[in-house]
Amino acid sequence: MQYPEPIAKLIESYMKLPGIGSKTATRLAFYTLDMDNEDVSEFAKSLISTKKDLTTCSICGNITEQDPCEICRDKSRDQSQVLVVEQVKDIMVMERMRDFHGLYHVLNGVLSPIEGKGPEDINISSLLKRLQTNKSITEVIVATNATPEGEATAMYISRLIKPAGIKVTRLAHGLSVGSDIEYADEMTLSKAVEGRTEI
């Protein structure tokens, strides 16, 4: 027996989301069917609004309702530092920390020869233009993930920017707070030793 077409289409739609297989999509579709009409209507409005009312900041690549984004418009932020992240969601994580008061730049990915992603496929050229036009930027902090692709992207960005006399730093990697050395892998321990600080 096949599902009625509206349910089948909803299951297909849920399956387009990352990490959602057919079983989870089916469960979500039937959960949606049991929701109040008002809640379903609000859910649908939220989906449409996300696509219709959001745009990309022309300066940093963040998602925003107004271009430029709130962070780029905020003159009280440290205009000398730009923290480069892989994805927009990384900005949200950094902002929750409340310790970084500079600006951001979103790459929308990392270099990955295996996936066929080169420098032209991520947001590097706009970072270089930004550094050329905004002479108040003195430090670029690369905050890509500690993956082979993230490391390669960080090194590539560093090689492009350093000749311009701009300081390029990388977020420290290593042991997380509360972890035991015996459970850390070799790469984590190596990064922890490399990034050690004086106490």
Examine the pLDDT at 181 and tell me if it is beyond 90.
no
* Whole-number pLDDT of residue 180: 75
pTM over 0.95: no
Residue 199: predicted pLDDT? 60
CATH number of 74-180+186-192: 3.40.1360.10
Q: Which of 115, 113, 111, 94 is nearest to 103 (CA)?
A: 94
- Characterize the bridge pairing of strands 139-142 and 103-106: unpaired
CATH 3.40.1360.10: which residues of the chain?
74-180+186-192
55 vs 21, 61, 66, 81, 84, CA distance in Å? 29, 9, 7, 24, 19
| CATH no., domain 5-53 | 1.10.8.420
For the chain, give every residue range classified as CATH 1.10.8.420: 5-53
Residue 23 exposed, middle or buried by CB count within 10 Å (0-12, 13-18, 19+):
exposed
pLDDT tens for each residue of 64-96: 999 999 999 999 999 999 999 999 999 999 999
Q: Which of 4-8, 173-177, 194-198 comes out lowest in average pLDDT? A: 194-198
User: How many residues can be counted in the chain?
Assistant: 199
Task: Please write the tens of the pLDDT for every residue from 145-172.
Answer: 888 899 999 999 999 999 999 999 998 8
Q: In the predicted model, is pLDDT for residue 119 greater than 70?
A: yes
| Beta-bridge partner residues of 167 | 139
